[in-house]
Amino acid sequence: MKKILVYLIFMGLWSCSEDDTSPVPEMEIPFLGEVEWIKSFGGSGEETGQSIIQTMDGGYAILGYSNSTDGDLAEKILAVNDYWLLKLDAEGNLQWSKTYGGTKDDRGQSIIQTTDGGYVIVGYAMSDDGDGSNNEGFHDNWILRLDASGTILWERSFGFAGHDHCYDLVQTSDGGFFFAGFLDVTLSNGEGNFGKGSTSHTRHGVGEFWGTKIDSEGNLQWRRYFGGTNNDRAHAVVQADDGGFVMSGFSESDDFDISNTKGSYDFWVVKIDENGTLLWEKSFGGTGIEVSYDIKKTPDGNYAILGHTFSTDTDVSRNHGESDVWLIKIDDDGNLLWEKTFGGSEFDDAKGLDITPEGGFVIAGNSKSMDGDATENKGENDLWFIKTDSEGNLTHQKSFGGSGLDFGFDVAYSADGSIVLVGEAASSDFSSIAPKGMTDLVVIKLK
């Protein structure tokens, strides 16, 4: 009886804490930074892992692309790039993998698990055969909805005559999907806006941020592009609490939709409402080159944005040498709250970002440095892991690799407090794994 009473009191206190309007951070499981396992997958050709998520069953799903026809891809027929989806259990054992594509170049970039337990994958594709039903020219945005075993439920291609790439997506609150990338607006002849609101748009220049909203069955609802006369590309997107969308990437333009630029290339962040209307846009950087690759919504309703910087001025408070990893936090109005750089005297970059329960950050990138924040380099580029607290202060870092070129592309914080990194390995002497081909998809679990 006492146990029941204590349990009821505890649940009552828990219920009260959930009703409290002030945010209560979750208890983070202690992180030691120790390697639990390292796995590699591939064939004799080239493989890469671009996106990783923890799945509902506690395992992991990884999306990338491959041109091998042997090894772990023995059922693949043509030595061209196909989307490659792998399902692992919690210990990193391969449960199944599937490829999607046709006879041309098809590259998977991002995966989400849908609320029904299936998956949606996006990237860019040139094929109009095999699994692809249509292509308008060069690369198109290609999105596939899959069931829980990876079987295609539907696929759609969106694009025009040029290279139109897609890099990220979200499942929206209405059950549909929104995906972001860039539009080759020169070869689209200004087309690329469709749906509610104005259907006309000023044709800008080389490339544009391009956001597309579809329903749960893949039917186009609306799409919008934003940018200036030069090269502007969205690499990541989140849905805002108000139903709108925030896209991040980079811009080298200083006109049309883009204001208050800082240098040759800036982090460029765009917020649109639920119908695609531009609410605000902001540039962040210095007089050098900045490119952002990932964005995450933080527990306090703000946004963290990750990429690299070559600058030493304006928004960038410090540079360790050449390119540094650059992490910034902005509020929902696009105001810069803080920024942090990580790196050493050589080239350092990062592409994958996730949030820990207490609001800290985990980062997947690559480093050539062996000084500054990076204490070791095994040769050329190493896959580089960074962990910070909620203010962006470095708490852990570790390099993985060998004498070749090794890259980290994405990271996922797991429910058990572990962290999983995914990327590609070209080193024949990469720790704990035997090389399979030119580059292998590599997965590392830390605890």
For the chain, the structural domain boundaries read: 35-446
Rounded to an integer, what distance in angstroms lies between the CA atom of residue 237 and that of residue 231? 18
- Other beta carbons less than 10 A from residue 385's beta carbon: 24
Stretch among 30-34, 263-267, 407-411 having the lowest mean pLDDT: 30-34
Provide the pLDDT for residue 29: 74
HSE at residue 271, side-chain half, CA atoms within 13 A, is 18
Rounded to an integer, what distance in angstroms lies between the CA atom of residue 63 and that of residue 385? 19
Q: And the tokens for 361?
A: 């950050």
Question: What confidence tens digit (pLDDT) does each residue in 422-447 have?
Answer: 999 999 999 899 999 999 999 999 99
Provide the pLDDT for residue 214: 98
Q: What is the DSSP string of 361-395?
A: EEEEEEE--SSTT-----SSSEEEEEEE-TT--EE
Q: Per CATH, which fold does 35-446 belong to?
A: Methylamine Dehydrogenase; Chain H (2.130.10)
Rounded to an integer, what distance in angstroms lies between the CA atom of residue 419 and that of residue 445? 6
pLDDT category at 7 given cuts 50, 70, 90 is very low
Question: What confidence tens digit (pLDDT) does each residue in 186-229 have?
Answer: 999 999 999 855 444 566 778 899 999 999 999 999 999 999 99
Average pLDDT, the chain: 92
Provide the pLDDT for residue 103: 98
Rounded to an integer, what distance in angstroms lies between the CA atom of residue 371 and that of residue 39? 27
Question: What confidence tens digit (pLDDT) does each residue in 119-165 have?
Answer: 999 999 999 999 999 999 999 999 999 999 999 999 999 999 999 99
Question: What confidence tens digit (pLDDT) does each residue in 394-421 have?
Answer: 999 999 999 999 999 999 999 999 999 9
Provide the pLDDT for residue 368: 97
Are 446 and 418 within 8 A, CB to CB? Answer: yes
The answer to whether residue 25 scores a pLDDT higher than 50 is: no
Provide the pLDDT for residue 199: 46
**CA quadruple 305, 345, 427, 165: dihedral positive or negative?**
positive
Are 358 and 28 within 8 A, CB to CB? Answer: yes
Q: And the tokens for 42?
A: 């591939």
